[in-house]
Structure 1
Amino acid sequence: MKKIKHLVVLGLTVVVFWACNSTQSAGAIALKTEQFEALKELVATKSFTIDVKTAHPMQTQAVTQVTMALLRNTGNTAGRIDVTGDYIKVMQDSVKGSLSYFGEVQVVSTMNPQDAGIHFEGEPTTYEVTENSKKQYLKIEFDVKGKAESYEVIMTLYPNKKATVFVNSAYRNSIRYDGDIIANEDQEKTKS
């Protein structure tokens, strides 16, 4: 009789935990869906900034060794470099970006060696937003001209206000950045 009683209590406990787990999952799904809708609204305003936190260069082994030597004792590695302060800003029909660059330049151009980062400002030649409802993310792709070269920028935006950005150029190795999504009006409030 005691064994049956213990089995019944154990069975009820399992059912209760399973029910609570599915309730949390439903709540988490609802929250993520709500966040995804808010993200879509923000992207539709074309008034947001990607506050870039880290750069992830795609380097050859030789460049990685040099980078590791230069970054020694800084808290960075060749694969992850803190670039707090870098950004990509979307403002209606224009975009502006100021990003540090770590990697190989394939073609020497008229770049100022003191400012070899990725900088652009102006109206993109293409701008496309793609929605993946199943995986709940937005992808924004645009092409924009800098002073000396053109860039292809691919931003993947997530409901938790995180973003991954890839920048491609004909003259440089690709680089990835990670950062946070901020509404431009929120950014202006924090500056005041």
Structure 2
Amino acid sequence: MKPNFKYVVILMAGITIGCGTSSTTVKSTKQKLEELVRAKSFQIECDWAVPLMTNSLNSISNAGFLPLGSTGNQINLIGNPNFLKVEGDTISAYLPYFGERQMGGAYSNSDNAIQFKGIPKNYEVMEDRKTGSKEISFNINNKTESFRVFITLSPNLTSNINVNSSERFSIRYRGDVMSIPSE
């Protein structure tokens, strides 16, 4: 049986078109990331917190005090409010904290999240040409604590945020990068 030439041409055209659309999608998300970073107008919502595993956190995990679907070294944040926003020169964040404090922290402070809002120092953006990702780093303070923040934004619009604190063990967050919704 001879293959029908018409069917072969249609099949090849379908494969070519199918393969072409995936590169267009990657290109468009890469362009979107470039625009968001250049405009300094984006936000990150995190789905996972990845704290430094300690004996204390392991004990809390074993006791069943972490959210459903979480382990001691990976905590599900879906349904918990959190964000990191870059709006021009101002950066603000509210990131739930899971881990150990080394010092400080007032007894009256009932919210133990990592929170800050202000103009950062040493704001730097670098591009990893091999992966197409953007790496952002800065220092920022709140009333009692100073933070060194490292953000990696991938072309597929996912992110990793590493936060080093003057008073707490470091923690990492994984989430998605998006435009800031208009109010």
Please state which band the TM-score falls in when normalised by the shorter chain: 0.7 to 0.9
3-state SS of paired residue (1:36): helix
3-state SS of paired residue (1:55): strand
Aligned-partner Cα distance in 2 for 1:72–1:38:
35
Deviation at 1:28, TM superposition (A): 3.0
What is the aligned-residue RMSD (CA, Å)? Answer: 2.7
Check the 8 A contact 2:67/2:76 in 1, yes or no: no
Partner of 2:6: none
Paired residues for 1:56-95 under 5 Å: 56-71=50-65, 74-83=68-77, 84-95=80-91
Question: Is 1:111–2:98 an aligned residue pair?
Answer: no
Paired letter, 1:79: N
Paired letter, 2:114: I
Q: Given the two structures, how large is their TM-score scaled by the length of structure 2?
A: 0.81
Aligned-partner Cα distance in 1 for 2:133–2:55:
33
Check the 8 A contact 2:67/2:75 in 1, yes or no: no
Partner of 1:14: none
Q: 2:173 aligns with which of 177, 180, 192?
A: 177
Percent of pairs with identical residues: 32
In 2 relative to 1, CA 114–41 (structure 1 residues): closer, same or farther, beyond 3 Å?
Answer: same
Q: 1:100 aligns with which of 74, 96, 102?
A: 96
Question: Is 1:50–2:44 an aligned residue pair?
Answer: yes
Aligned-partner Cα distance in 1 for 2:24–2:85:
29
Partner of 2:153: 157
Which deviations, in whole Å up to 9, do the C-alpha atoms of 1:47-92 show, x marking residues without a partner?
1111122211112134312233142673322122222311111110
Higher-helix-fraction structure = 1
Q: How many residues align?
A: 177
Paired letter, 1:80: Q
Which deviations, in whole Å up to 9, do the C-alpha atoms of 1:93-138 show, x marking residues without a partner?
11001111111111x2143441221110100012111111221211
Which residues of structure 1 form unaligned runs of 5+?
A: 10-16
Partner of 1:188: 182
Mean Cα deviation higher: 19-28 or 51-60:
19-28
Which residues of structure 2 form unaligned runs of 5+?
A: 4-10
Higher Cα radius of gyration: 1
Check the 8 A contact 2:66/2:75 in 1, yes or no: no
Partner of 1:120: 116
